[in-house]
A and B are shown apart, each in its own frame.
Chain A
């Protein structure tokens, strides 16, 4: 069975500081990996995804993530936090071989950006 663990339910950084949100997954087959962002009272928006190929994936709003198979990790980073980055972030996994595209989500990490 697949699962996702996001380390840290709340992360607080200062504006301009590095953002690091951690995600570890469990999957018996090659995974597809995703990061979604959710602003208050809105749906989820895709930040970036890893399917195949390059393990360093660049997404929207300056975010990037690196797929590390040996560590079963897909951590999300951004060099310099902006106030508008404050939101909830979800890591998700899907089976590469799945015929359903079903996503398994982590519990989420709330990012707070302090001025």
Chain B
């Protein structure tokens, strides 16, 4: 079974530029998560999708961040315009959310550097 795929793996941009990240979850997983992991910290949830609907986006900075999950499969996370403090690893995770299963499977992440 293929794991969670993310691209690009690395991205360097200047502040005020825009950037987009892509995630392809494990086939059949209904739930998709985007996390932000700042250096030296644990991952923080940005947004959660159940199929193609948003379940939780309470910690997403909506003035600059947006995300969508087309057809309940792939997802993109966009930042526009980027700030220096957005430098982080952006992790995508998916979960089958079967009864009793809360296990999340993580992709390798996209490391964003904003200069």
Contacts and interface: CB of A to CB of B under 8 A. Distances in A.
B107 A43 contact: yes
Contacts of A102: 45, 48, 56
Nearest to A94: B102
Q: Categorize the interface residue count of chain B.
A: 20 to 34
A46 interface: yes
B16 interface: no
B72 interface: no
B45 A103 contact: yes
A35 to B, nearest CB: 12
B106 A101 contact: no
Interface stretch (A11-19, A65-73, A78-86, A105-113): A105-113
Contact of B95 (A42, A44, A92, A101): A101
| Interface secondary structure of A, over-half rule | loop
A74 interface: no
B42 A100 contact: no
Interface of B: 4, 31, 40-45, 48, 55-56, 91, 93, 95, 97, 100, 102-109, 111
Interface of A: 4, 9, 32, 36, 41-46, 49, 51, 90, 92, 94, 99-103, 105-108
25 contacts: A9-B40, A36-B106, A41-B108, A42-B108, A43-B4, A43-B107, A43-B109, A44-B43, A44-B91, A44-B93, A45-B106, A46-B104, A46-B105, A49-B103, A51-B102, A90-B42, A99-B55, A100-B56, A101-B31, A101-B97, A102-B56, A103-B45, A103-B104, A105-B43, A106-B42
